[in-house]
Amino acid sequence: MIARGSRLFVGLPLSKSVLALTLASTALAGSFARADEDDIHFRPGHLLLSRAVFANNAVTITPGVTQLPPNCVSPNCVTATADGTYPTVFNNDLVDGSFGLTAKIVLDELRLDGDHVRSREVPNSASRGVSPGKDQMVTSFSSKSELALNLSLDHRTVSFMGYLAPIGAIDVSNSNTPFVVDPTNPVTSTYYRLVAEVDEHGRFHFTKTNAYSGNNGRAAILNDRHGGRVFYTVGNAGNGGKTQPVGVIVGTGTQIMTEADAALAQQPDPAQPTPVGSFNVTELGQPIDKIGKDTNFRGLTVFDNVVYLTKGSGGNGVNTLYFIDTSGNAANGNPKACPNGTGVPNPSATLPTTPIFYNAATVQTTGVTPYNMCVLSGFPTNPAKTATSFPFGVWFADAETLYVADEGNGTTTYDAASNTYTAAASQTGAGLQKWVFNGTTWTLAYTLQAGLGLGVPYTVKGYPTGNNAATKLPWSPATDGLRNITGRVNRDGTATIFAITATVSGSGDQGADPNRLVSITDKLSATTLPAGEHFATLRTANAGEALRGVSFTPGTDLGRDEEAHDRSSCGHGRGDGDCRDTD
């Protein structure tokens, strides 16, 4: 059970000298790739925002000629319907369900009011001096679940996920990984997935993995406490036939991997994926469904030595909030925290340090066993096929209060007379859900929506107006809910939560919409919706951009009890990611 009564207060940022000494004591202190400018310094207590930036003229696509996916094999080929011009290029998603283009990743340092401080571009193939053998990473522009940002557990770095691929590559987010190949995947290319870290000086380090073959890695958190060097990651895998290869099933969901200690070119080929958590709907008494899709996870956070994850898309499994149960071990006499599939973490819970040791012979019939995950008590347990909840990011304010971002249902029902996406506007669960703990179970207190303008289209300079001829719906996006979030507890008994919006629109791929960064301040003790609380828009993406993740900057002090800092200023953050049956 989660300890009650503790609260996470904001503390002073670590000093530059203390942080430098801390970094120097780690095994990777000298192996981060230095940024182009040596004087970059992210200031602790600020926000860090990730965005995908479309690369114009990076790819040539000829409508009626170009075959998609690239190097496809009949009968898996379609012909492009749009050229490479933004944003109409994403109409190709209407014929190629795997369509996407790799793009630049930019990290923005912002003050808490959204004011821009500085930006850092992640090295990529279009960067000066970055040859194919150099450290680099890209994202898939239309993959809305990618680029979540998470502070490491000791706050030294911020982690996120992407691909080892060049700018402008097609369908990378549904490619296989080099050593986990699904022959039924219509996308025949192979690319490693990467975990990236950035430190306070803007230096990057990357770790290769074969996980998430056929789909995308979405979020990563580095457990660097007490000399630790392991990532927890979440994502989805598989883009092929009904029976997936063992490596695809094993490589989905939540993984654990060791932080690499060398540049990409010097890293050995990574081994097979190593799952750290597994869930199956049979734990809830439901009939088994497609193996490997119950763990199509998106949100990720760590609180009180427990890893929490969300699932909010796809037609299999359950859309809800989960945790990894490390206490259930029959060999040592500890009972499982959720014998019937739901529960709360055991007081003896510790963070996982090793993967699940599974039986490969039964993976394709029963999945990765033993199942060591639980639905957090009080959260939905109904099948995803009947879901009305679409959780994404999650953030704990304290042991009795957590906030869950609900992305919305993505339905594009539109009424021209009122200029409203009516399905989005009528949702009651989309936005920011506040859950409270009574010592036994969690209960939804209320959902914050005011100021989001659910379902109301907004215009973006340089972005098309009018209707997309391919969908007959307006280009202008409207907010449908929220995706990745982080937050801080204030000394006045409130919490401020920062969130990335989800959208609905007439685009061929709504993941390519220019979306927003918003914030709201909520009274922590409230259990009914307070009057007057509303979201403020801090930033709207420009045409050719999509906002993805938000965290606090590396070095931000979370105000832990063992740190002798006056808890009086700055912010603290807690983290909080393209298979087309999901995202």
583 — pLDDT class (breaks 50, 70, 90): low
348 — pLDDT class (breaks 50, 70, 90): confident
Are the CB atoms for 153 and 226 separated by under 8 Å?
A: no
Query: Residues 30-63: pLDDT tens digits?
Result: 456 554 455 689 999 999 999 999 998 899 999 9
Query: Residues 139-195: pLDDT tens digits?
Result: 999 999 999 999 999 999 999 999 999 999 999 999 999 999 999 999 999 999 999
- Phi/psi of residue 356, nearest 5 degrees: -75, 135
- The pLDDT, as a whole number, for residue 209 is 98
Are the CB atoms for 498 and 485 separated by under 8 Å?
A: yes
4 — pLDDT class (breaks 50, 70, 90): very low
How many other C-beta atoms lie within 10 A of the C-beta of residue 580?
16
Q: Which of 204, 29, 200, 44 is nearest to 121 (CA)?
A: 204
* Residue 568 token pair: 């009086």
Query: Residues 460-512: pLDDT tens digits?
Result: 999 999 999 999 999 999 999 999 999 999 999 999 999 999 999 999 999 99
For residue 561, what are the contacts with CB-CB under 8 A and spacing of at least 6?
none
d(CA 120, CA 111): 15
Strands 342-343 and 373-376: parallel
d(CA 138, CA 161): 9
Query: Residue 18: helix, strand or coil by DSSP?
Result: helix
Question: Residues 117-138: what's their mean pLDDT?
Answer: 96
Confidence check: pLDDT of 573 > 80 = no
226 — pLDDT class (breaks 50, 70, 90): confident
Q: Residue 237 to residues 18, 105, 281, 308: CA-CA distances in angstroms?
A: 40, 22, 18, 19
Amino acid at 575: G
Confidence check: pLDDT of 271 > 60 = yes
Question: Residues 373-382: what's their mean pLDDT?
Answer: 97
- Phi/psi of residue 2, nearest 5 degrees: -70, 135
Question: Residues 523-549: what's their mean pLDDT?
Answer: 98
Q: Which of 289, 150, 296 is nearest to 215 (CA)?
A: 296
* Residue 369 token pair: 């066993």
Lowest mean pLDDT among 177-186, 232-241, 549-558, 563-572: 563-572
* Residue 169 token pair: 């590559």
Confidence check: pLDDT of 25 > 50 = no
Q: Which of 478, 476, 500, 414 is nearest to 87 (CA)?
A: 476
Confidence check: pLDDT of 536 > 90 = yes
Are the CB atoms for 275 and 358 separated by under 8 Å?
A: yes
pLDDT more than 70, % of the chain: 87
- The pLDDT, as a whole number, for residue 334 is 61
Which run of H or of E encompasses 246? helix 246-250
pLDDT more than 90, % of the chain: 83
- The rounded mean pLDDT for the chain is 89
227 — pLDDT class (breaks 50, 70, 90): confident
- The pLDDT, as a whole number, for residue 345 is 94
- The pLDDT, as a whole number, for residue 38 is 53
Query: Residues 397-456: pLDDT tens digits?
Result: 999 999 999 999 999 999 999 999 999 999 999 999 999 999 999 999 999 999 999 999
565 — pLDDT class (breaks 50, 70, 90): very low
Q: Residue 532 to residues 18, 97, 451: CA-CA distances in angstroms?
A: 41, 42, 10
Strand partners, 446: 434
Amino acid at 396: F
- The pLDDT, as a whole number, for residue 20 is 35
The single residue listed with the structure tokens 């680099």 is: 136
- The pLDDT, as a whole number, for residue 333 is 52
SS3 assignment for 248-304: HHHCCEEEEEECCCCCHHHCCCCCCCCEEECCCHHHHCCCCCCCCCCCCCCCEEEEC
- The pLDDT, as a whole number, for residue 560 is 38
Per DSSP (E only), the strands in 81-142 are 102-110, 116-121, 139-140
Q: Residue 436 to residues 68, 276, 399, 442: CA-CA distances in angstroms?
A: 48, 27, 9, 5
For residue 386, what are the contacts with CB-CB under 8 A and spacing of at least 6?
none
Alpha helices in 327-378 (DSSP H): 363-366
Question: Residues 353-364: what's their mean pLDDT?
Answer: 93
Q: Which is more confidently placed, 39 or 525? A: 525
Question: Residues 315-325: what's their mean pLDDT?
Answer: 96
Say how many Å lie between the first and final Cα of the chain, rounded. 33
Query: Residue 283: helix, strand or coil by DSSP?
Result: helix
Angle at 549 between CA 547 and CA 551, to 5 degrees: 135
Q: Exposure string (b/e) for 533-566, b if CB count within 10 Å is 16 or more?
A: bebebbbbbeebbbbbbbbbbbbbbbbeeeeebe
- The pLDDT, as a whole number, for residue 481 is 98
Strands 342-343 and 401-406: unpaired
* Residue 479 token pair: 């907010």
**The model's pTM:** 0.90
d(CA 13, CA 22): 14
Question: Residues 204-218: what's their mean pLDDT?
Answer: 98
d(CA 259, CA 223): 10
